[in-house]
Amino acid sequence: MLTPVEKSVTNSFIRRADYLEKKLPEVIAQINASTSIENIEIPEDYRYYLLSEDKKKVIGNMTDREVQLVEDTLNKKTKMNHFNKVMEKRETRYGTLFVSYYLMSDFNSPLLRKFLPPVEVLELLLLIISYISGLMMISGYYSNKVTRELKKISYTTAQVKELNLDFQDQESMIKEVNDILMAMDQMKNSLKQSLEKQWQSEETLNFSLQALSHDLKTPLTVIKGNTELLELTDLTTEQSEYLAYLSQHITRVETYMEDLEHLAYPVEEIVPQPLVAVTTLIDEVNVLVTSLMEPTTYDLHFQLNNDCQVKDDYVRISLKSFNRSIQNILSNAIRFNSEGKAIVVEIQLIEKFFSVSIKDNGPGFSAEGLAKGTQRFYTEETSRRQGVHYGLGLAIATQLIQQAGGQLSLANYQRADGGESAKVTVCLPVVVVKNI
């Protein structure tokens, strides 16, 4: 019976499965009709072996092992285990012919038979290839579909990460992905409400600080002007002392007003910073330390790169901002330092960063202080001594350093006696400039 492929083609293109079987009698007749063994021609589609009556090989393309297999199979000593393989023994005028061939459809063209497997094998291969291709297509389709749905999660995550919370809610046809998206949408809405409250609170606070600073300027200017006028009059010693005390506190109020003005503007409002040589910053630290503390109360250390050219190293920060930051940190260290102990100031220039670390010998930061110490108006009342300050020093320093692209960090370090004290570090990126 013909296979579906055989039915779909003409006999001139594909030969029937029993072609070699029906042709074999014709081959035997040709052998018997041959005038000599040299004239015998057997098609290459057969595996054959012609054995003379005296048991000598005449012609053939079988190996001795194949001949033995055919004899054993025909004598029922072994079972034929080859797919559609036929083995026969035929008698001819020249001796016994052992022949084997396959009952399989094949191509008529010798060229196609040379490069392609038999039709049944080709059908099976095409079926397997079609099955695998179908699986790959189905897998690719669903893989792309799942990937598209998962991209919605990635998109939502990226938008939330960037705090862009006004994007359109995503939906998915896959239930599990849609559940995740719904949960993320709820999280987004909650985060948006929380941030809006925070931004509104910060905006209100900044406006209040600006208004307070503005409202205080006029009466403070009047008080300061009258104080300066009083200094020009004849005053007793006691009155001069009171007036000096008043001028001192007017200056303090002006300083607090400057702090309020700094805090009224967010860190994002960064103005272009001038280039300042690292050598200049080192000199400024030296001046601030020596002016604020007695020689016996501080220890100044320098650590510079062995291979760096300090003269070519610069930092983008205004001297006023740098001095204000370092002064605020030093003032805190002096305020909380234990009496009789030295404050350590370390200046480092390592790789591409310039840092100033100030370590006191006080009680150190509490866990809450480490987390909130740089926030506005935060003061510690238990672990650190409370003085006359309003929690603005480190907040101002942090904002000024961040505006210059640097970082201010709080930490505790372990003293030689095993206790912990506070350490504040300012770190600024270095710019190398040649021939400035």
Clarify whether residues 250 and 304 are in a common domain.
no
Report if residue 338 sits inside a domain.
yes
Tokens representing residue 20 in the block: 């070699």
In angstroms and rounded to an integer, the radius of gyration of the C-alpha atoms of the chain is 49
Clarify whether residues 220 and 343 are in a common domain.
no
| Final residue in a domain of this structure, among 263, 289, 317 | 263
Tokens representing residue 220 in the block: 């403070």
Dist CA 227 CA 235 (whole Å): 12
Positions of the chain with pLDDT under 50:
1-10, 268, 307-308, 382-387
- Dihedral sign for Cα atoms in the order 270, 276, 277, 280: negative
Residues 6 or more apart whose CB falls under 8 angstroms from that of 113 comprise 45, 106, 107
User: Looking at residue 6, what is its pLDDT?
Assistant: 41
User: Looking at residue 244, what is its pLDDT?
Assistant: 83
Tell whether pTM > 0.85: no
Question: Is 88:99 a contact under the CB 8 Å cutoff?
Answer: yes
Clarify whether residues 282 and 209 are in a common domain.
no
User: Looking at residue 383, what is its pLDDT?
Assistant: 45
Residues 6 or more apart whose CB falls under 8 angstroms from that of 148 comprise none
pLDDT tens-digit profile of 104-133?
Answer: 888 888 888 888 888 888 888 999 999 999
Number of domains in the chain: 3
How does strand 298-304 pair with strand 343-350? parallel
3 state DSSP class of 48: strand
Clarify whether residues 412 and 330 are in a common domain.
yes
Tokens representing residue 275 in the block: 């280039």
User: Looking at residue 8, what is its pLDDT?
Assistant: 40
Report if residue 341 sits inside a domain.
yes
Report if residue 250 sits inside a domain.
yes
Clarify whether residues 297 and 423 are in a common domain.
yes
User: Looking at residue 169, what is its pLDDT?
Assistant: 83
Report if residue 168 sits inside a domain.
no
User: Looking at residue 132, what is its pLDDT?
Assistant: 94
User: Looking at residue 415, what is its pLDDT?
Assistant: 87
User: Looking at residue 388, what is its pLDDT?
Assistant: 52
Query: Per DSSP, which regions of 106-240 are E strands?
Result: 106-107
Report if residue 368 sits inside a domain.
yes
Dist CA 36 CA 94 (whole Å): 9
**Chain centroid, CA 128 distance in Å:** 41
- Dihedral sign for Cα atoms in the order 187, 188, 190, 194: positive
User: Looking at residue 2, what is its pLDDT?
Assistant: 47
User: Looking at residue 410, what is its pLDDT?
Assistant: 93
3 state DSSP class of 347: strand
Clarify whether residues 255 and 291 are in a common domain.
no
Dist CA 258 CA 321 (whole Å): 12
| Final residue in a domain of this structure, among 40, 71, 103 | 103
Clarify whether residues 290 and 206 are in a common domain.
no
Question: Is 348:357 a contact under the CB 8 Å cutoff?
Answer: yes
User: Looking at residue 183, what is its pLDDT?
Assistant: 87
Dist CA 31 CA 93 (whole Å): 8
CATH number at residue 369: 3.30.565.10
| Final residue in a domain of this structure, among 82, 103, 124 | 103
Tokens representing residue 213 in the block: 């600073």
Cβ burial, residue 274 (10 Å; 0-12/13-18/19+): exposed
Clarify whether residues 378 and 297 are in a common domain.
yes
User: Looking at residue 385, what is its pLDDT?
Assistant: 46
How does strand 343-350 pair with strand 353-359? antiparallel
In the DSSP assignment, the letter for residue 311 is G
Tokens representing residue 384 in the block: 């650190």
Clarify whether residues 224 and 363 are in a common domain.
no
Question: Is 63:69 a contact under the CB 8 Å cutoff?
Answer: no
Dist CA 261 CA 206 (whole Å): 9
Domain of 46 in residue numbering reads as 18-103
Dist CA 323 CA 281 (whole Å): 9
Clarify whether residues 250 and 327 are in a common domain.
no
Report if residue 290 sits inside a domain.
yes
Clarify whether residues 224 and 317 are in a common domain.
no
Clarify whether residues 99 and 226 are in a common domain.
no
Report if residue 402 sits inside a domain.
yes
Tokens representing residue 228 in the block: 């300066």
Residues 6 or more apart whose CB falls under 8 angstroms from that of 409 comprise 424, 425, 427
Residues 6 or more apart whose CB falls under 8 angstroms from that of 91 comprise 97
Report if residue 149 sits inside a domain.
no
Dist CA 323 CA 315 (whole Å): 13
Task: Tell me the one-letter amino acid at 140.
Answer: G
